[in-house]
Amino acid sequence: MVFEGVRIGFEHGDVLADVSFTVWPQETKVLLGETGTGKTLLLKMAAGLVRPDAGRLSVLGHRLEELSERELLAFRRQVGFVFQEGALFDSLTVRENVGFRLREEGMEEEQIEGLVRQALHFVEMEDAIDKLPAELSGGMRRRVAIARAIIHQPPVVLYDSPTAGLDPVTAQTIIALILRLRDHSGVTALLATHRLQDAFALAHFRFDPEENRVVRADGRAGAPRTRVLVLREGRVYFEDDADALLHTQDAYLRRFLV
């Protein structure tokens, strides 16, 4: 995933100006920044939901700014999007929410049922298959949203504040799922968050498929990476690993950390 000189503006001026960065395969790039710096906008551009005014954007080998609307629809099947607060349909059951995209594409119900159960099993939510979103806790709704995003087994997943509003224990559960998708399923991710602890957790832990649990990262060569990008006033202000951010002497970043 490559952003090259991406710019987008509205009536009041540029929201993103000359933004360039790369997300390598199986890497998780964490987007940090104050409200209004364009984190969610970058996710929407990576999903082909918003076109940049200038610059180049390549995801999975596709130049998104050059694709037609029809081509973008096909492209989006390769990308999972976990919206802020989950964005589930209140009137639909968990089964219907998770399978909604497949049903819209005309897939056979029997096949949809199998894929829905598989996705819910991954996020440990099979028992909630017939419940409505109102019957679920915030963390459960977020796990259902992840199941909906990964039902196609996409190679790229975009997360918009996946732990926002959750208690620390539930947030850890969501981070564990993200680690599992990265380290076991090989997913490449772009994740926007206000929570610094999410960035550090993703950088310092990994999912061990042999032990089937999250363990401390050992820093071995070839291990999946998490890097942090801080946006300020619509531009990339910092990009490095989490430890470099933690030990920075930059005055703005120190205030941001505090």
| pLDDT tens digits for range 161-192 | 999 989 999 999 999 999 999 998 999 999 99
Alpha helical stretches, state H, 58-190: 69-76, 94-98, 100-104, 109-122, 138-150, 168-183
Q: Which 8-state DSSP code applies to residue 135? A: G
Query: Which domains are delineated in the chain?
Result: 23-51+67-78+154-257 (3.40.50.300), 87-146 (no CATH)
Helices then strands, each counted (H, E), the chain? 10, 12
d(CA 134, CA 166): 16
Residue 219 has what pLDDT? 60
Residue 209 has what pLDDT? 82
Mean pLDDT by 10 residues, the chain (258 residues): 92 82 95 90 94 94 92 92 86 95 89 95 94 94 95 95 91 94 93 92 87 77 75 93 92 88
d(CA 110, CA 42): 36
What tokens were used for 16?
């993103």
Question: What's the 3-state SS for 215-231?
Answer: EECCCCCCCCCEEEEEE
Residue 111, class by beta-carbon neighbours within 10 Å (0-12 exposed, 13-18 middle, 19+ buried)?
exposed
Tokens 């059951």 locate to: 93
d(CA 26, CA 181): 9
What tokens were used for 2?
């490559």
Q: How many CB atoms lie within 10 A of CB 6?
A: 23
CA distances from 84 to 8, 164, 209 (A): 21, 8, 28
| pLDDT tens digits for range 71-105 | 998 899 899 999 887 689 999 999 999 999 899 88
**Cross-strand bridge partners of residue 59:** 62
Q: What are phi and psi of 64, to 5 degrees?
A: -65, -35
